[in-house]
Amino acid sequence: MLYKEFLINLYKYLLNTEDYDNNIIRKHTRNLEKVGEFSFSSEKLSFCRNKEIEYSYSSETEIGELIVKQSKKWPLQVSKYAIINNSVHIYVDRILCYKGVIKQTLDEKQNYGSHRIDFARNINVLTDIEESNLNELSLSQLRMLLLKEVVLRLIEFNFCNNKAQNNTFIRLASNFNKTSNETYIVCGPVLSTKNGHKCDISAAEYYRKRTIDMRLMAEHKYGLRITSQVGWQEFFEKLGQAAVTIDLLQNKTNRGVTINLNDPTTANSKGASFILYNCARLATLFKEFDKRVSDNVYPALPSFENIDLSLLNQPEEWEILFLYVLQFPYIVNNCIKEIMEGRLYIHNLCNILCGMCSAFSVYYRRIRILTEPREHLFAVLHARIYLLKSVEQVLHNGLHLLNIQPVKQM
């Protein structure tokens, strides 16, 4: 994982520790062009670092210069630094990052984001739910089953059960049992905004409702024209299933989920349809690009080694790659890395997909990807196609982990 490795290198160099799960070094998510990707206060650094280690720098400027020099040995490098309000701000080398991350997604494809987690024991995930008939399941029970499916997919994706000889049992439950030897993870209930009590409709009813909601949203928000063709019902059922999954999993596991059964345009529903809409938008873009290549309007896509990545100079392009494509393996790994301690972070997987789609949507509206067929525009077109191929791969891999089928048209 390039992002995690960079954090370890940075913390080890500055603080002589590999413990990067803190805010000693700030990780920026906005205005990266101006403030860089990371920053830290030299005063805070001096207070936190290992006092037994002798450091050879005495000023912010010297720290910045040394980091740039030291990072030449790292897979991700620092290209420059700046002193802003007595803090050191560092800027990642963008071209090297583009090259390393996009190539990794192209090489690993459906395995991108997978990173072996070596637990001491094999993990078996259990629930107290015996009923699998959707007509009999409550929404709280459905949430637990959806969570179990995603956890099992993450365990397989990260090769967690390949080496260990002994087993441990993780039980997803609505209440904590202190007398059990199993590790309990409490799954919060699904509540109604109407009265704050548990929703009284079945899982089957909720799936049907979300299917209708997705159809209405597709017609009114995205202008989709519905015909009487047989395939539309199956299509909207997929959208409804995706909406239910995002609805129930995008909050922290131990917290309750509140849903509004009377509002088809809740934020969660829009999140699901928005993710799949951008999934379809990417598929349509690549289909049109391939058509123009076959019609000799565009030249064929060159090999990745011949792409000029310096042409990816728009702020949204860097945001998409650095915040989402690069950090996707890190987020996936963190989803279950503390499962033995009874903690899950599945909601972060939903959040990174929503965030990436939002960033891509802004980019797509502002930048014309498929340009006029002019010689001087082909190089930037090809660089952008490769960037968006990596976005699509992350989107598909994330949806697979959530057990959501991607769509090719909307």
Return the structure tokens found at 392.
Answer: 């699509």
End-to-end CA distance of the chain: 33
- Tell me the domain boundaries of the chain: 2-92, 122-259, 267-401
Measured from the Cβ of residue 45, the count of other Cβ atoms closer than 10 Å reads 19
Rounded mean pLDDT of 215-227? 68
Lowest mean pLDDT of 133-142, 161-170, 221-230, name the range.
Answer: 221-230
Is 185:126 a contact under the CB 8 Å cutoff?
Answer: no
> Virtual CA dihedral for 139, 145, 147, 153, nearest 10 degrees?
-150
Is 40:88 a contact under the CB 8 Å cutoff?
Answer: yes
Report the pLDDT value the prediction gives residue 378, as an integer from 0 to 100. 98
One CATH from 1.10.730.10, 1.10.3720.10, 1.20.120.140, 1.20.1050.10 for 267-401: 1.10.730.10
Report the pLDDT value the prediction gives residue 224, as an integer from 0 to 100. 63
Residue with tokens 């968006």: 388
Measured from the Cβ of residue 57, the count of other Cβ atoms closer than 10 Å reads 15
More confident residue, 405 or 262: 405
Q: Give the whole-angstrom CA distance, residue 106 versus residue 114.
A: 14
Pairing of strands 38-41, 78-84: unpaired
**3-state SS assignment for residue 138:** strand
Q: Report the mean per-residue pLDDT for the chain.
A: 89
Task: Say whether pLDDT at 268 is over 90.
Answer: no
Task: Say whether pLDDT at 50 is over 80.
Answer: no
Task: Give me the percent of the chain exceeding a pLDDT of 70.
Answer: 90
* Residue 15 binned pLDDT confidence (cut-offs 50, 70, 90): confident
Q: Is the pTM of this model over 0.75?
A: yes
Could you tell me how far CA 254 lies from the centroid of its own chain? 20
Q: Give the whole-angstrom CA distance, residue 378 versus residue 294.
A: 15
Residue with tokens 């990052």: 97
Contacts of 382 (CB under 8 A, 6+ apart): 301, 302, 307
Residue 91: what residue type? Answer: Y
* Residue 267 binned pLDDT confidence (cut-offs 50, 70, 90): very low
Report the pLDDT value the prediction gives residue 279, as an integer from 0 to 100. 94
Task: Say whether pLDDT at 163 is over 80.
Answer: no
Contacts of 17 (CB under 8 A, 6+ apart): 11, 50
More confident residue, 164 or 13: 13
Quote the DSSP letter at residue 303.
P
